[in-house]
Chains A and B, each alone.
Chain A
Amino acid sequence: MTSYAFFGALEQGFAFGLMVLGVYLTFRVLDFPDLTVDGSLPLGAAVSAVAIDAGMHPALSLVLACGAGFLAGAVTGFLNTRLRILHLLASILTMIALYSVNLRIMGRPNLTLLGKPTLVDLFTTASGLPQYLSTPLLFGLVTAFAAVVLIWFLRTELGLALLATGDNPRMIRALGVNTGGTIILGLGLSNALTAMSGALVAQNQGGADVNMGVGTIVAGLASVILGETVFGRRSVAWAVLAAILGSLLYRLAIALALGLKLGSFSITPSDLNLITALLVVLALTAPRMKAKVFS
């Protein structure tokens, strides 16, 4: 793997790390399988791209993206808790609706940001680093900040209520907490993180595309599970960290698969997804194998 590919994987791992934190929040903390992310990732990208296109500062556009993502998550929460639609279906409904919403927001399926000021460009100029180093650094800082805020939040009274809603809803209701409210809040936060992730990804890849959300939940779940299998779940803070590391590992697996060449038995480009899956299997089983060998 070249250093460009390595730092490229870190940059993608951090950019999608925000989304992985969001998926951790719904899937692990709330115990809510939320597919909204497939729609809220491109939603964040769309909002950010349209805002930048209209002349807004790229950093400010992240705030707008977060707000839009929060709303999307809240809609799923509303469908589930107030209209009593099964969680999985509620999130699927929001996800498919967002496809049309995203097309409306952008007015077209692909909105370019090439030649427009993005956070990546601004940070690269300000830091004086080459782009392949400045981008992972920027995204790493943003993700680290989000992780710290998330860990802090989960230790507040509201955060503890959120944790309890996932662990034991009956108990927490008995304590007088409105679980409907905590579910809506949790989904909103999760999708706000995902939308912010989408906004960063769009600013990095040169534009927003309505199809960029396809497979988000798959990558999110793979990263969360990869992280907790390899690094464990000792505490909430540790689990948050493991989710981000899982995201990095997942993207490194893709980078490794992209650069793989085995002499004359060449791996064709069409094998990319298969090789990525195999590498993830390897990462998942390696710790257990190691334990077996050394015990």
Chain B
Amino acid sequence: MRRLLFVTLAVLLWVAPCLAQDKVFHVSVTQIVEHPSLDAMRLGFLDRLKALGLKVEPSVHIAQGNMAANVQIASQIQGENPDLILAITTPSAQAVVQKIKDKPVVFTGVTDPLAAGLVKSLAAPGGNVTGMTDKSPMDRHLALIRECLPGLKRLGVLYNAGEPNSVVLVNLLKDECAKAGVALEEATAANSAAVYQAAKSLAGRVDAVYVPVDNTVVSALEAAIKVCEQNRLPFFSGDTDSVARGTVAALAVDYRKMGEQTADMAARILKDGRKPGEMPVESIRDLALHVNTGAAARMGLTLPESVLKRADKVIP
């Protein structure tokens, strides 16, 4: 009897720490739509959690662009009773925050968490919510364009006025252009089929074209590139993925890295027991500069040596 007790105790002593170490964390993910940048954030997040030594059982939901499914996903997640929720983009985060008040919610890929009502302040979000903003530094984007085109007088911006993130960015760009004495011409496209026409409307009116991180325009980017090449208009983008597709240059957030940084925040909540409401909203630490010399040549632009030297990636 005593021996049995001893063995049981020994087994328990051996198993208990393993159990404690190997706690499996349930992480529910909600994402509004399949999109390369959003997918990169999700994958970066999950891979980084694994690399940090956390055992994670993810449950991923994508609303496929359907707002009703988006709300139902929030209910679904409520039932999954996860240890942490990752919400990618503004509408996904809004639906989860509306429904779930007792689990940590970490958002990412949200341009303006304050205007979206997700947090009370960026420094101290309050409640069960924190996360990362991907707001592009528009001052640095404009500085890059002006460095490539020192004589820039009129800049065209191509975006969908129905995308909250784009509107925030274009408003910031307006302020920066006013400060720099550059006239800003806007062209909007309500869906990807309208991008070609919107781009064409800028030809002859501007010296260069810029597209912020806009899902509609970026999904029909080739149409805009074609117009810019035909009219020899240097075309700059707000995301680096578009440079490989044929824009001149971009100084931007690497979405995979952003997902990884979000995972670091999540790990602090899961492992160290930090409270989301006390963790300030973070933005991406370092930006990557990608340039495409071939595209620049087709759009009648020679990139200055200073830009080429700084570039993290040069696409011929």
In the bound complex, CA of A18 to CA of B33 (Å): 26
- Give chain B nearest CB distance to A164 CB in angstroms: 34
Residues of B within 8 A of A205 (CB): 67, 70-71, 91, 94-95, 98
Residues of A within 8 A of B120 (CB): 115
Instruction: Kindly state whether residue B65 has any CB partner on chain A within 8 Å.
Output: yes
Instruction: Kindly state whether residue B60 has any CB partner on chain A within 8 Å.
Output: yes
- Give chain A nearest CB distance to B51 CB in angstroms: 22
Instruction: Kindly state whether residue A204 has any CB partner on chain B within 8 Å.
Output: yes
16 A-B pairs besides A8-B74, A12-B72, A206-B95 with CB distance below 8 A are: A1-B79, A2-B78, A5-B76, A8-B76, A103-B161, A103-B162, A110-B91, A110-B116, A201-B71, A205-B94, A206-B94, A206-B98, A209-B91, A214-B65, A258-B76, A273-B66
* Nearest opposing residue in chain B for A211, CB measure: B162
The interface bits of chain A over 90-122 (1 if a CB of B lies within 8 angstroms of the residue's CB, else 0) are 000000100100010000111011111000000
Specify the main secondary structure of chain A where it touches its partner.
helix
Task: Assess A4 versus B68: contact at CB under 8 Å? Given A99-B190, A109-B164, A131-B99.
Answer: no
Interface set, chain B 47-99, CB cutoff 8 A to A: 60-76, 78-80, 90-91, 94-95, 97-99
Task: Assess A114 versus B118: contact at CB under 8 Å? Given A206-B94, A210-B162.
Answer: yes
Residues of A within 8 A of B312 (CB): none
In the bound complex, CA of A5 to CA of B61 (Å): 13
B75 adjacent to A8 (CB under 8 Å): yes
Of A8, A16, A96, A103, which contacts B78 at CB under 8 A?
A: A8
* Nearest opposing residue in chain B for A251, CB measure: B72
Instruction: Kindly state whether residue B40 has any CB partner on chain A within 8 Å.
Output: no
Task: Assess A112 versus B94: contact at CB under 8 Å? Given A205-B70, A205-B71, A269-B60.
Answer: yes
In the bound complex, CA of A251 to CA of B76 (Å): 12
Instruction: Kindly state whether residue B167 has any CB partner on chain A within 8 Å.
Output: yes
B contact residues vs A (CB 8 Å cutoff): 31, 34, 60-76, 78-80, 90-91, 94-95, 97-99, 115-118, 120, 161-164, 167, 190
Tally A residues with Cβ within 8 Å of B.
45
Instruction: Kindly state whether residue A181 has any CB partner on chain B within 8 Å.
Output: no
Of A113, A131, A212, which contacts B67 at CB under 8 A?
A: A212
B65 adjacent to A132 (CB under 8 Å): no
Number of A-B residue pairs, CB cutoff 8 Å, is: 129
Of A113, A131, A258, which contacts B69 at CB under 8 A?
A: A258
- Give chain B nearest CB distance to A54 CB in angstroms: 16
A272 adjacent to B69 (CB under 8 Å): yes
B68 adjacent to A114 (CB under 8 Å): no
Interface set, chain A 128-166, CB cutoff 8 A to B: 131-132
In the bound complex, CA of A204 to CA of B98 (Å): 8
Interface set, chain A 239-295, CB cutoff 8 A to B: 251, 254-255, 258-259, 269-270, 272-273
Of A112, A209, A273, which contacts B64 at CB under 8 A?
A: A273
B91 adjacent to A254 (CB under 8 Å): no
In the bound complex, CA of A210 to CA of B191 (Å): 13
B161 adjacent to A206 (CB under 8 Å): no
B72 adjacent to A9 (CB under 8 Å): yes
In the bound complex, CA of A212 to CA of B162 (Å): 11
Of B72, B95, B117, B163, which contacts A115 at CB under 8 A?
A: B117
B80 adjacent to A215 (CB under 8 Å): no
- Give chain B nearest CB distance to A288 CB in angstroms: 28
Of B31, B62, B79, B94, which contacts A114 at CB under 8 A?
A: B94
Instruction: Kindly state whether residue A11 has any CB partner on chain B within 8 Å.
Output: yes
Of B69, B76, B94, B98, which contacts A4 at CB under 8 A?
A: B76
In the bound complex, CA of A197 to CA of B97 (Å): 21
- Give chain A nearest CB distance to B72 CB in angstroms: 5
Of B34, B74, B98, B163, which contacts A109 at CB under 8 A?
A: B163
- Give chain B nearest CB distance to A142 CB in angstroms: 16
A4 adjacent to B60 (CB under 8 Å): no
B62 adjacent to A109 (CB under 8 Å): no
B61 adjacent to A258 (CB under 8 Å): yes
A254 adjacent to B161 (CB under 8 Å): no
Instruction: Kindly state whether residue A225 has any CB partner on chain B within 8 Å.
Output: no
**4 smallest beta-carbon distances between A and B, as pairs:** A8-B75, A2-B79, A112-B117, A114-B117
In the bound complex, CA of A170 to CA of B42 (Å): 59
Residues of A within 8 A of B69 (CB): 254, 258, 272
Task: Assess A132 versus B62: contact at CB under 8 Å? Given A115-B117, A212-B67.
Answer: no
Instruction: Kindly state whether residue A7 has any CB partner on chain B within 8 Å.
Output: yes
Of A5, A109, A110, A209, which contacts B72 at CB under 8 A?
A: A5
Of A5, A131, A254, which contacts B68 at CB under 8 A?
A: A254
A12 adjacent to B64 (CB under 8 Å): no
* Nearest opposing residue in chain A for B171, CB measure: A108
Instruction: Kindly state whether residue A3 has any CB partner on chain B within 8 Å.
Output: yes
B90 adjacent to A110 (CB under 8 Å): yes
